[in-house]
Chain A
Amino acid sequence: MSTTQALPEHHKNCDLLFARAEESAMAARWPECEEAFGRFRAEIGAHFETEEQVLFPAFEAATGSRLGPTQMMRLEHAQMNTLLGQIGQAVAARDADGFAGAAETLLILMQQHNMKEENILYPMCDQALAGQTLAIGDEIARRAAAPCPT
Chain B
Amino acid sequence: MHPNLSFDQAPPIGVPLRFLLTAPWFGVAAGLLLAWSGEVAVLSRWTPQALALTHLLVAGFLLQAMTGALFQFVPVAAGGNVWRPRLAAAIIHPMYIAATALLVAGFLAANGSLLRLAAGLFLPTVLLHVALVGSALLRTPARGATIAALRVAVAGLAVTVVLGASLAEGIAGSHAWPLVQVTNVHAAWGLGGWALMLVLGVSYFVVPMFQLTPQYPAAFARWAPIVLVGVLLAWSTQLLDAGADWLPLVWLAGLGVAAVFAGVTLWLQARRRRRIADPTFHFFRGAMICLLAAFASAAAMVLVPALGDEPAAAWWLGALVIAGTFVSLINGMMYKIVPFLCWLHLQRQAGIGGTVPNMREIAPERAQRLQLRLHFASVTLLLLATFYAEVLVAAGAAFAASCAWLGWNLIDAVRRYQGFRNRAGAGAAGREP
Contact = CB atoms under 8 A, between A and B. Distances in A.
A82 B278 contact: no
B360 interface: yes
Interface in B339-364: 340, 343-344, 347, 352-355, 357-361
B415 interface: no
B68 to A, nearest CB: 17
B273 A15 contact: yes
Contact of B276 (A23, A124, A128): A23
A72 interface: yes
In the A-B complex, list the 9 residue pairs whose CB atoms are closest, starting with the nearest. Answer: A101-B360, A101-B358, A69-B7, A63-B3, A111-B209, A72-B7, A65-B3, A68-B3, A78-B352
17 contacts: A19-B275, A68-B3, A69-B3, A72-B7, A81-B352, A82-B353, A86-B358, A101-B358, A104-B359, A108-B336, A111-B209, A112-B76, A120-B7, A120-B78, A120-B79, A121-B7, A124-B1
A148 interface: no
Interface stretch (B108-116, B139-147, B189-197, B294-302): B139-147
A23 B278 CA distance: 13
Interface in B243-276: 273-276
Interface in A87-135: 97-98, 100-102, 104-105, 107-109, 111-112, 115-116, 119-121, 123-124, 127-128
B2 interface: yes
Contact of B360 (A72, A75, A104): A104
B363 to A, nearest CB: 10
A124 B358 contact: no
Contact of B275 (A15, A23, A115, A119): A23
The DSSP consensus for interface residues of chain A is helix
Contact of A26 (B5, B140, B209, B276): B276
A79 interface: yes
A68 B7 contact: yes
B212 interface: yes
Nearest to B146: A119
Nearest to A22: B276
B4 interface: yes
B3 A64 contact: yes
Nearest to B4: A68
B238 interface: no
A1 interface: no
A61 B313 CA distance: 63
Given A65-B4, A68-B7, A72-B9, A115 B273 contact: no
B2 A124 contact: yes
Interface of B: 1-9, 76-79, 140-144, 146, 205, 208-210, 212, 273-276, 278, 336, 340, 343-344, 347, 352-355, 357-361
A104 B339 CA distance: 10
A62 to B, nearest CB: 9
Contact of B274 (A22, A78, A120): A22
Contacts of A101: 357-361
A127 B7 contact: no
Given A68-B3, A119-B143, A19 B212 contact: yes
Contacts of A105: 340, 343, 358-359
A68 B141 CA distance: 14
A63 B7 contact: no
A82 B352 contact: yes
Contacts of A120: 5, 7, 78-79, 140-142
Contacts of A72: 6-9
B340 A15 contact: no
A146 interface: no
Given A23-B275, A63-B3, A97-B360, A69 B141 contact: no
Interface string A6-35: 000000000110110011001000000000
Contacts of B344: 109
A98 to B, nearest CB: 8
B209 A86 contact: no
B366 to A, nearest CB: 11
A116 B7 contact: yes
Contacts of A109: 340, 344
A48 to B, nearest CB: 13
B144 A119 contact: yes
A69 B209 contact: no
A120 B140 CA distance: 9
A22 B360 CA distance: 15
